[in-house]
């Protein structure tokens, strides 16, 4: 069985340098993989990315991240990604990562994702150019996630985005802002291809547990939701391990 540690929305800057590291070193003794579900920084600057890189680099397990909206705020997302990758952190945007854990291939398909809302209560591709751009970005984000999942060849399949795929894990947030917190298109993409676990962040006042319509367990790991430095999830079963 595979154990993953997961957290999102760590929002690091110089103020918090070193605060998370002892906890992450503990996580590396418990889990096979650390997943970081976006909003690694506060403003998306290179300086903050360097703090994140120092915090996450050199752990004994692979660290796989997606960027969040905060990581785009200063329009330096490519440089942020570069700083993280140079520190050995895997950053996914419509891409996949796979590793072997005791003979089992554990794969992650990741992307930032986007908002748009949920079935029956979402933005539509109609009207002003700004509204169409918003909706089309949401569709492109889901399409990119779908492609990544299509390319993921793994025994244990994990999806990770920053934005939420379901309403379940937004409970606690005002419903009026749900269209800015997530998109049903992300869940639709995951359900179309299939996965064992869906990790996201972004909704600080949301709820940890949820599920897609297709039955994929969803976990909101935004740190303010967890009220602990990270969550630990066991994915797969003994049968998966034995068959591999």
Partner 1 sequence: MDSGVNPDANPATDIYLAKEIEGAIADDERTAELGVAVDVRAGRVFLRGKVSTVQRKDAVTGVAREHAPEREIVNEIHVEDPGAGASPTTAEEQIR
Residue ranges binding partner 1 (CB under 8 A):
3, 10-11, 15-16, 19-23, 26-27, 29-30, 42-43, 70, 73, 196-197, 204-205, 217, 223-224, 227-235
Question: What SS3 class is residue 35?
Answer: strand
DSSP 3-state of 95: strand
- Nearest to partner 1 of 30, 124 (CB atom): 30
* Closest alpha carbon to 142 in 214, 72, 192, 195: 192
Q: Which of 94/108 has CB closer to partner 1? A: 108
Using the CB atoms, write b or e for 142-167: b if 16+ within 10 Å: bebbbbbbeebebbbbbbbbbbbbbb
**Cα(29)–Cα(52) distance, rounded to whole angstroms?**
20
Phi-psi region of 94 (alpha: psi -120 to 50; beta: other; left: phi over 0): left
What's the closest the beta carbon of residue 198 comes to partner 1, in angstroms?
10
In the bound state with partner 1, the residue whose beta carbon lies nearer, of 179 and 224, is: 224
Please count the residues of the chain: 244
CB of 143 to partner 1, least distance (A): 26
| Nearest to partner 1 of 134, 233 (CB atom) | 233
Of residues 22 and 175, the one with the C-beta less far from partner 1 = 22
Distance in Å, CB of 43 to partner 1, minimum:
6
Closest CA to 67 of 111, 101, 28, 4: 111
Minimum Å distance from CB 19 to partner 1? 4
**Nearest distance, CB of residue 138 and partner 1, angstroms:** 20
């Amino acid at each position: 069985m595979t154990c993953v540690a997961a957290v999102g929305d760590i929002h690091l800057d110089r103020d918090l340098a070193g605060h998370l590291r002892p906890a992450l070193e503990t996580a590396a003794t418990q889990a096979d993989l650390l997943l970081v579900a976006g909003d690694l920084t506060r403003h998306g600057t290179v300086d903050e990315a360097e703090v994140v890189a120092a915090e996450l680099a050199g752990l004994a397990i692979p660290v796989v991240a997606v960027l969040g909206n905060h990581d785009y705020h200063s329009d330096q997302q490519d440089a942020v990604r570069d700083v993280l990758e140079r520190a050995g952190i895997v950053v996914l945007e419509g891409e996949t990562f796979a590793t072997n854990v005791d003979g089992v291939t554990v794969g992650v398909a990741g992307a930032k994702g986007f908002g748009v809302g949920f079935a029956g209560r979402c933005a539509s591709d109609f009207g002003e150019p700004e509204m169409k751009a918003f909706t089309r970005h949401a569709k492109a984000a889901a399409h990119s996630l779908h492609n990544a999942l299509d390319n993921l060849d793994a025994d244990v399949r994990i999806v990770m985005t920053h934005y939420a795929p379901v309403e379940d894990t937004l409970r606690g947030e005002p419903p009026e802002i749900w269209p800015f917190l997530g998109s049903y298109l992300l869940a639709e993409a995951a359900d179309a291809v299939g996965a064992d676990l869906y990790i996201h962040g972004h909704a600080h006042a949301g709820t940890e547990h949820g599920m897609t319509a297709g039955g994929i367990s969803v976990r909101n790991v935004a740190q303010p939701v967890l009220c602990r430095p990270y969550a630990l999830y066991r994915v797969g079963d003994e049968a998966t391990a034995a068959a591999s």
